[in-house]
Structure 1
Amino acid sequence: MPENKSERLAALADQCVQCGLCLPVCPTYALDGNEAESPRGRIAIAAALAKGQVPVTDDLREPLDHCLGCLSCERVCPAQVRFGELLVETRALLGPAPRRPRVLLALATRPAWLRAARRLAGWIGLSRRQAWLAGRLPERSAWGAALSLAATPLPSTPSGFSAVSREAPTLAPVALFPGCVGSVDDEDAQQAATVLLEAAGHPVIRLPAFCCGALDAHGGRTAAAARAMQRVRNAVQASGASMLVTVTPGCLGQLRAALPGVRVSDPYALLADRAGELGFRPLRQRVALHLPCTQLNVARSGEALQTLLARVPELEIVPLPPRCCGAAGSHLLEFPERAAALRVPTLEAIDTLAPQALLSSNIGCRLHLAAGLAERGKAVPTLHPLVLLAQQLVSGSPP
């Protein structure tokens, strides 16, 4: 790594004052009780690597590979350590992890391939053959985890939502970034975002579907991440929009890094600003609300989402405790056993609440939780909050 990058990484690490306030909010420290699996432990490792004080070994890089990138530590840090930047730059120094499931990640980041794989899974009845196939794979392997996700399809919703006719002022156009996995498994959420934003007065320009580069950036593949970021810039420039939204908060950090001069968010803040223009039909249902780490710590839109859901008459919203479910991008494939252990408290909370549906904005979290519920024999519909809001949206003036 060039000297200036080493110096930058060392400077990021040196911001840490070792106060330990990050420890109670770190999911991996709670799981392992090991200082190396804490934010300040990882910062110490990053500093030693940047200063050339230690060689790269498997034991040294493992805590860095285990990090979920949830950024709960960054949110509570009194020294304002930019842990997300530090993590990405340290992984760039280390390079891709040896156990990185390259074939699976290549599939996940190519929407056309992923869509074809989804169709194939349906044709062969993968959900019926899962147990037989799982018995022939190593327990908690990357392929076993992928099989579990693929064999647990998300509940289907109508292919479209009713058009809303309302005299709303035309506001600034918004570019909608579909992403990679989200463009396939969150197609209904993309449609829902379009319906809701246009009802609120924002024309929507849908961009082509491709990966934003987040998986590559967090996997140490710097050049591939840079190419994806340039593709994002080109697509937004061609759209002519001054704002970009995504229904997958896991993409937000990478999109903001690619577009420093553009407002990038999930749709909730824009919709909450125009909540008076939106009316919803009553829905007598109890739903558990899961707020993904990136929605809490990057988008910081949990309050806006709850404000919107509260406008649906008779809907009972029960927030789940704020903690990482273990999906964390490619983590659920690279470390399926750890991801399953991190998921347990959230699944137990869902069991206790006994909701009629589970809402979560992040496709990785929703697939991971749906697979865990299926393993427990629980039939809880899981859907994107935007889908529920679009289903309940009414035409005409709001009540």
Structure 2
Amino acid sequence: MHGPAGRVAILADQCVQCGLCLPVCPTYALDRNEAESPRGRIAIASALARGLAEPTRELREHLDHCLGCLNCEKACPANVKYGELLIETRALLGPAPQRPRQLLNLAVRPVLMRILRRIAGWLALPRWKGWLARQLPEASPWHAALLIMSADAPAPPVQSDNRNTGQPRLALFPGCVASVDDAEAQQAAVTLLQAVGFQVSVLPAFCCGAMDLHGGATQGAEQAARRVRQAWDTSSATQLVSVTPGCLGTLRRALPGVPVADPLALLATRTESLQFRPLAQRVAVHLPCTQINVARSDSTLLQLLRRVPELDVMPMPRPPHCCGAAGSHLLEFPERAAQLRGATLQQASTLDPQQLLSSNIGCRLHLAAGIEEHGLPWPTRHPLSLLAQQLITTEPKQESP
């Protein structure tokens, strides 16, 4: 076999069908159905690639339900590249019928999103979005989109500080949704990185292509990858950073050979330069799947937060293994996503937090919608925002050439 189908077949053949992935799969835990497990999905992908099964709506739905959390890759003794297999299989099938194209086209346009958010603020839409959402079916992507809309006005776009001279060493990738709803965290990243001596520039805000890549929209993903490469080539930086773990894998795919990192990993190399004011609070720390399995900065995050005096840092228990946001999954399958979110918030409630931290914007908006729905008194923030808030600022230390 050759071409995309051949690649899927080769990747599927690496699976030894041991089943060690089943206990860490959130969708298998939800359904207890073999077809909703990594092992089952690999068998489906293999059959589709070899022409032994037709891509019916019912069959491909099992593939579309996958959250792409990659817990299975960590558990796999055969080192199956499940994430790559899922991307290749979805590319082979093309975008799913239920993919909310209009919503996603809006989400990947930061300028338009800011304009619409401003108009929504003028109309006081956040105050009556719940009523409007209730007029729509719970399975509607627009129902989910309304509920995750933040009531806060978006922060101004992130700006780098030009006090440092010379060529920037780091380039910050703002992304699309994150550039609007996580601008505060991106500014916090710049503040923290400059505090430990890095020079930071900011790339234009646009989508990295993650949702297209994972949704089988190959052409859109390739266009986004080209735009990423063009922006990187003009940046004069030596390393790329993103505060959104969900973007890291796609950025690394677009820029092979370029160091693409979570800012936490860089801050951890210079923790001696960071001093924080005390904060007597208990915070629940939600660790997104991509932070654990792609960025692999979960332990680094907890170590940095524990440098804040008096801060009671409580990582949320696992399982559950995923909150259900998973890129566009919360829009495509809002009822399933709400079930997974409910289990996550139930675990958070056992910690009795005063604040909930999560580093992935999709996860945080999804969790915040559940928190609002249940009337829970937990504000949500990016961990970098908290760290920058408590930072004791000094003159920035210049990085040696």
TM-score with structure 2 length normalisation?
0.94
Distance 1:117 1:285 in 2: 35
Distance 1:321 1:246 in 2: 25
Deviation of 1:4 (Å): 2.2
Give the corresponding residue for 1:340.
338
Structure 2: which amino acid aligns with 1:27?
A: P
Structure 1: which amino acid aligns with 2:98?
A: R
Structure 2: which amino acid aligns with 1:20?
A: G
Give the corresponding residue for 1:213.
209
Distance 1:13 1:103 in 2: 33
Residue 337 of structure 1 aligns to a residue in which SS?
helix
Residue 175 of structure 1 aligns to a residue in which SS?
strand
Partner deviation per Cα, 1:46-96 (whole Å, 9 max, x = no partner)? 011111111110111001000000000011111100111000010001111
User: Does the Cα contact within 8 Å between 2:167 and 2:237 map onto a contact in 1?
Assistant: no
User: Does the Cα contact within 8 Å between 1:272 and 1:304 map onto a contact in 2?
Assistant: yes
Deviation of 1:277 (Å): 0.9
Distance 2:203 2:156 in 1: 22
* Structure 1 segments (4+ residues) deviating >4 Å: 154-161, 168-172
Structure 2: which amino acid aligns with 1:329?
A: G
| 1:190 has 2:189 as partner | no
* Match of residue 369, structure 2, among 371, 381, 392: 371
Give the corresponding residue for 1:22.
21
Deviation of 1:135 (Å): 3.0
Give the corresponding residue for 1:308.
304
Residue 128 of structure 2 aligns to a residue in which SS?
helix
Deviation of 1:108 (Å): 0.5
Distance 1:272 1:70 in 2: 25
Q: CA RMSD in A?
A: 2.3
Give the corresponding residue for 1:274.
270
| 1:143 has 2:142 as partner | yes
Q: Which moved more, 1:317-326 or 1:152-161?
A: 152-161
Sort the Cα spacing of 1:395 and 1:26 in 2 relative to 1 into closer, same or farther, 3 A.
same
Distance 1:252 1:94 in 2: 24
Give the corresponding residue for 1:326.
324
Distance 1:41 1:281 in 2: 50
Partner deviation per Cα, 1:275-300 (whole Å, 9 max, x = no partner)? 00111111111100000000000000
User: Does the Cα contact within 8 Å between 1:99 and 1:334 map onto a contact in 2?
Assistant: yes
Give the corresponding residue for 2:381.
383
Percent identity over the alignment is: 64
Partner deviation per Cα, 1:226-261 (whole Å, 9 max, x = no partner)? 110011011111001121000000001100000111
Distance 1:117 1:86 in 2: 37
Deviation of 1:127 (Å): 2.3
Matches within 5 A, 1:82-101: 82-101=81-100
Structure 1: which amino acid aligns with 2:252?
A: R
Deviation of 1:385 (Å): 0.4
Distance 1:378 1:314 in 2: 23
Q: Which moved more, 1:93-102 or 1:135-144?
A: 135-144
Deviation of 1:354 (Å): 1.6
Tell me how many residue pairs correspond in the alignment. 394
Distance 2:124 2:200 in 1: 36
Structure 1: which amino acid aligns with 2:343?
A: P
| 1:222 has 2:218 as partner | yes
Distance 1:181 1:36 in 2: 32
Structure 2: which amino acid aligns with 1:284?
A: A
User: Does the Cα contact within 8 Å between 1:95 and 1:221 map onto a contact in 2?
Assistant: yes
| 1:292 has 2:291 as partner | no
Structure 1: which amino acid aligns with 2:378?
A: V
Residue 262 of structure 1 aligns to a residue in which SS?
coil
Give the corresponding residue for 1:8.
7
User: Does the Cα contact within 8 Å between 1:327 and 1:364 map onto a contact in 2?
Assistant: yes
Distance 2:130 2:312 in 1: 36
User: Does the Cα contact within 8 Å between 2:157 and 2:179 map onto a contact in 1?
Assistant: no
| 1:204 has 2:200 as partner | yes
Distance 1:17 1:171 in 2: 49
User: Does the Cα contact within 8 Å between 1:207 and 1:235 map onto a contact in 2?
Assistant: yes
Distance 1:204 1:325 in 2: 32
Matches within 5 A, 1:76-155: 76-150=75-149, 152-153=150-151
* Match of residue 231, structure 1, among 220, 227, 231: 227
Partner deviation per Cα, 1:84-127 (whole Å, 9 max, x = no partner)? 10000100011111111111000101101111221122111112
Distance 2:178 2:148 in 1: 14
Deviation of 1:397 (Å): 8.0
